Structure 1
Amino acid sequence: MRDIIIKTSGLTKDYGKKRGVFDIDLEVHKGEVFGFVGTNGSGKTTTIRSMMGFIRPNSGVCAVNGLDSWTQSADIMKNVSYVPGEIAFPALKTGTEFLKTQAKYLGVTDFGYMNHVIELLQLDPTANLKRMSKGMKQKTAIVAALMGEKEVLVLDEPTTGLDPLMREAFLQLIREEKQKGHTVFMSSHIFEEIEAVCDRVAMIRDGHIIDTASLYDLRHPSVKNFVVKFEREPEKQRFLETAAFRAESKDAASCAIVCKIEQLDALFHLLKDYQIVDLQENHRSLQQQFMSAYKEELTQNGNNG
């Protein structure tokens, strides 16, 4: 097994009235981009603040690089870059002043990568720090976190305030971090961006982990779903009556087919004998996976979470 960089076991922070996080078990491996997805108020930030050592849990443990998050947080920060969910800058005039201060703190002397991130995010660091828009502040915080090129990144809703173009630029940066072998833990409520860059994802609802999924398995399922439209209804009926596949009628000329990977050749060989107007594969998205887990959890535990 690859080295475990971030680990929580039974992590619980109870704020009362069922608010907080409860029995959180997570493992993030070296070089992995790990997504943490859930709706607002589900417990993502509480979990991350516990990881960073900003919050003391009621029970359970959390460790980063084998160091206890609460008792050794100062040592953890030497190898971790962090983008908080709520950005608060010191009393400095411009973004440039802030980034220079951050560079000095991190011991950064080569500004090549910092300038690369600034250019990619189209940030004007000379802007007044207090008058920056939410998006500008977010970009500045991302530059400040990435410039140190640390081996672990912990990012709490890092694309908040970014427009779709800048969101894609940020995802490019995450891909670059992965290429370097760095470990990324990233929370979000935007399923598409988690699906685009993450290796695995944990889904949290009301402070409880309800599912952990491999994005590879989601992208390469062992069972595929197709919708086939035949030229005429009798063709569809003949297929339904003779095909050795899970299939059901959708409308007059279409049917849905469920097919295992090892059956694909047989399916396409069979379909050659029919007049096909259209064939589409239905991919299961991360959002569909989350909603399925969400409904299953509701069924098991009722509406109380």
Structure 2
Amino acid sequence: MAMIEINNLTKDYGKGRGIFDINLSVEKGEVFGFAGINGAGKTTTIRNLMGFIKPDSGSATIDGLDATKKSAQIKQKVAYVPGEINFPGNNSGEVFLKRQIEMLGHGSWERCQEICDELQLDATANIKSMSKGMKQKTALAAAFAADSDILIMDEPTTGLDPLMRDTFIKLVEEQKALGKTIFMSSHIFKEMEETCDHVAMIKDGKIISRIDMNKIRYNPDKLFTIAFQDNESFQHFTSLSYDLAEVKPDKNQVTVKVNDQKINELMNDLQHYPVKFFKEIKQTFEDYFNQTFKEEA
């Protein structure tokens, strides 16, 4: 069952700015990532989902509700972290967080306090005097404590240090274990690689790729860099029928691409050569992202 459905969504601001014929489907209980460089269209897509702006054409639904026509009902169902945080009023973070829970009608102040502790947030501080990082933590505490079935987050770790990003990943994993549906944009590759089931990449307002993250985490095609002790061994090995990703004759070094099913064959072949070193090159989502954008460009 799709909790978030986007069909041919278009919002054209002119001069190539906006989003164009976006199609996405996010299943119940899925963590879905939305990646792209600044200005690619991530925030415009999310603002359409939340009903803050109306599309020129196409549609978006959340739990079967039209994002434009039923935005008030959607806001009761969705825990939302905006890309730019601007809190209302001049109260403490604690007052704001309690009001959020009261307005939604679900969530727990006790759980909110636990999240504040995990994020090392002093919620008694006045929200107007908070740093960018503290405001981000407050928004995250409100979202994770809401106990909403759906979380939509736009660059949720902006302003957080690496330690707090690890805490964020832990909180996302906890929500996923509870069966929550999460849609988030991010430019931090690590948090997407560790939490997302699928990631869609957007460029110039158009979806250019969608990847099952298991293919990144458990890629059967491995890369190995091998350096030989002499040129003769290097030359002989490179004459074999391996897929050579990179060759460095001056260093007697080669990088080969090998499927899991042929790794034993590679090991057997290497027994016949004096090898200086042998190292696997881990392929990451960042590698895939950069390669996809390079090919698109």
> TM-score, normalised on structure 1?
0.92
Deviation at 1:109, TM superposition (A): 6.8
Residue 269 of structure 1 aligns with which residue?
268
2:242 to 235, 240, 245: 245
**Deviation sequence 1:213-272 (CA, Å, 0-9, x none):** 11110122232211111222222222223x332235323321111212221121112222
- Rounded to whole Å, the distance in 2 between the matches of 1:126 and 1:108 is 22
SS of residue paired to 2:175: helix
In the alignment, structure 1 residue 86 sits paired with structure 2 residue 78? no
Residue 278 of structure 1 aligns with which residue?
277
Residue 290 of structure 2 aligns with which residue?
291
Q: Which runs of 5+ in 2 are unaligned?
A: none
Change (3 A) 1:42 1:110: closer
- The 5-angstrom pairing of residues 217-228 of structure 1 reads 217-228=215-226
**153-162 or 244-253, which deviates more:** 244-253
- Rounded to whole Å, the distance in 2 between the matches of 1:250 and 1:178 is 45
Aligned-pair identity (%): 46
RMSD: 1.5
Residue 185 of structure 2 aligns with which residue?
187
Residue 71 of structure 2 aligns with which residue?
73
**Deviation sequence 1:163-188 (CA, Å, 0-9, x none):** 11111111111111111111110101
Residue 111 of structure 1 aligns with which residue?
109
Deviation at 1:296, TM superposition (A): 2.5
Q: Give the aligned residue type for 1:261.
A: D
**Deviation sequence 1:191-231 (CA, Å, 0-9, x none):** 22222211111111111111111111012223221111122
SS of residue paired to 1:274: coil
Deviation at 1:108, TM superposition (A): 4.3
User: Does structure 1 retain, via aligned residues, the 8 Å contact 2:5–2:61?
Assistant: yes
SS of residue paired to 2:123: coil
Q: Which runs of 5+ in 1 are unaligned?
A: 299-305
1:156 to 151, 154, 157: 154
Corresponding pairs, count = 295
User: Does structure 1 retain, via aligned residues, the 8 Å contact 2:40–2:202?
Assistant: yes
SS of residue paired to 1:169: helix
Residue 235 of structure 1 aligns with which residue?
233
- The 5-angstrom pairing of residues 57-68 of structure 1 reads 57-68=55-66
Moved segments of 4+, more than 4 Å: none
- Rounded to whole Å, the distance in 2 between the matches of 1:21 and 1:15 is 9
Residue 169 of structure 2 aligns with which residue?
171
Q: Give the aligned residue type for 1:13.
A: K
**Deviation sequence 1:41-68 (CA, Å, 0-9, x none):** 1111100010111111000111111111
**Deviation sequence 1:53-112 (CA, Å, 0-9, x none):** 111100011111111110111222232110011112111321111112112112347433
> TM-score, normalised on structure 2?
0.94
User: Does structure 1 retain, via aligned residues, the 8 Å contact 2:107–2:146?
Assistant: no
Q: Give the aligned residue type for 1:225.
A: L
User: Does structure 1 retain, via aligned residues, the 8 Å contact 2:107–2:147?
Assistant: no
User: Does structure 2 retain, via aligned residues, the 8 Å contact 1:92–1:98?
Assistant: no
Change (3 A) 1:29 1:108: closer
Residue 14 of structure 1 aligns with which residue?
12
